[in-house]
């Protein structure tokens, strides 16, 4: 598989994963957070879920023509780097969430770096 094919496959994988996580956020995150003893406002996890859902669909869609829709993976990278920062802060503030936040922050950082590297090696940036 060539570099551009791998980038396309990785963006599709990332998009599908975002859609899956969106469903978890929309329907189950409030119950999970309350189950570990933290207070929660369902609206915030549902809004995050909708944003993840849209981002997931956009990532999958941008694979039709990555050069034309380059802003979508770049926005995703920026979003993931920002989220990793908030995840690290919340690991410190709410250690009960560390089980969820540590893998999430690792995924966000690694996938962002990999996306940037792939975009660079394919001469998109």
Phi-psi domain of 39 (left: phi exceeds 0; alpha: psi -120 through 50; beta: other) = beta
CB 16 within 8 A of CB 58: no
Task: For 74-121, write each residue's pLDDT tens digit.
Answer: 999 999 999 999 999 988 988 888 888 898 899 999 999 999 999 999
Task: For 22-36, write each residue's pLDDT tens digit.
Answer: 998 888 887 777 777
DSSP 10: H
Q: In the chain, how many domains are there? A: 1
Alpha-carbon distance of 8 to 119, in angstroms, equals 10
Q: What is the mean pLDDT of residues 56-83?
A: 92
Alpha-carbon distance of 91 to 86, in angstroms, equals 9
The pTM (predicted TM-score) of the whole model is 0.80
Range of the domain at 84: 3-121
């Amino acid at each position: 598989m060539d570099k551009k094919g791998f980038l396309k496959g990785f963006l599709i994988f990332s998009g599908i994963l975002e859609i899956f996580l969106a469903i978890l956020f929309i329907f189950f995150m409030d119950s999970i957070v309350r189950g570990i003893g933290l207070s929660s406002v369902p609206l915030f996890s549902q809004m995050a879920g909708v944003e993840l859902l849209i981002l997931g669909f956009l990532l999958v869609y941008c694979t039709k023509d990555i050069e034309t829709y380059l802003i979508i993976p770049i926005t995703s990278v920026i979003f993931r780097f920002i989220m990793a920062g908030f995840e690290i802060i919340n690991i410190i503030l709410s250690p009960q969430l560390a089980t969820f936040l540590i893998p999430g922050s690792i995924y966000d950082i690694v996938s962002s770096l990999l996306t940037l590297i792939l975009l660079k090696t394919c001469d998109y940036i």
